[in-house]
Chain A
Amino acid sequence: DADVTQTPRNRITKTGKRIMLECSQTKGHDRMYWYRQDPGLGLRLIYYSFDVKDINKGEISDGYSVSRQAQAKFSLSLESAIPNQTALYFCATSDHGLAGDNEQFFGPGTRLTVL
């Protein structure tokens, strides 16, 4: 079984709809992250969490919100989806420890299309 799972894997929705992307992990890691990937722009950090109830904005948090109610789960919400939020979304986890030296483990990604 995969250590980091994301649901759904693919989603097509319409402008203005509310969407939630779910991420679950069985690695026992404290730290979780949400990224989006766009062609030519690479992966960009949306939000991250270092512990339950800890929420921090990344470089592109506008239009998104997150929830970390349990260590194993980190959900990303688009309150009112817009077409430029069409992208590939990745969840990732890492262990705590020496800052900056911990490998991040990624989920398989969610491909979101907003029409």
Chain B
Amino acid sequence: RKEVEQDPGPFNVPEGATVAFNCTYSNSASQSFFWYRQDCRKEPKLLMSVYSSGNEDGRFTAQLNRASQYISLLIRDSKLSDSATYLCVVNRRGGGNKLTFGTGTQLKVEL
């Protein structure tokens, strides 16, 4: 079983739609959680950190459920520019800053 699992997609949604991505992690020692965004053939960039209390940044909302070892990302009012691959990332407790990446979920926002 992969340490971080995501549905690869693609998710094809119309502009303005709300879309949600889920991610599960297998290591209960995981300490920190993130969503990174990766555009085609580009480097990953941090989108947002994920906290137990949930956090929101504009149209983006991230949630963490430690009991179920589950992370989610909600995008409201999708824009064409949101088209990218979204990577779920976890960091293990005591692992320094070594990150474990999911394989990513591809989003395509269409007119």
Contact = CB atoms under 8 A, between A and B. Distances in A.
Interface of A: 31, 33, 35, 40-45, 48, 50, 58, 90, 94, 99-104, 106-109
B87 A42 contact: yes
Contacts of B103: 40-42
Contact of B98 (A40, A42, A48): A48
B45 interface: yes
B32 interface: yes
Contacts of B97: 31, 94, 99-100, 102, 104
Nearest to A58: B98
Nearest to A103: B46
A59 B4 CA distance: 15
Interface of B: 4, 8, 31-32, 34, 41-46, 49, 87, 91-99, 101-104
A48 B96 CA distance: 11
A103 B103 CA distance: 19
A55 B98 CA distance: 13
Nearest to B88: A42
Nearest to A94: B97
A92 to B, nearest CB: 8
Of A45, A94, A106, most B-chain CB atoms within 10 Å: A106
Contacts of B98: 33, 45, 48, 58
A22 to B, nearest CB: 16
Nearest to A97: B97
Contacts of B93: 100
A41 B42 CA distance: 16
Contacts of B42: 108-109
Contacts of B45: 106
A-B residue pairs, 6 tightest by C-beta = A106-B43, A100-B32, A100-B91, A42-B103, A43-B101, A42-B101
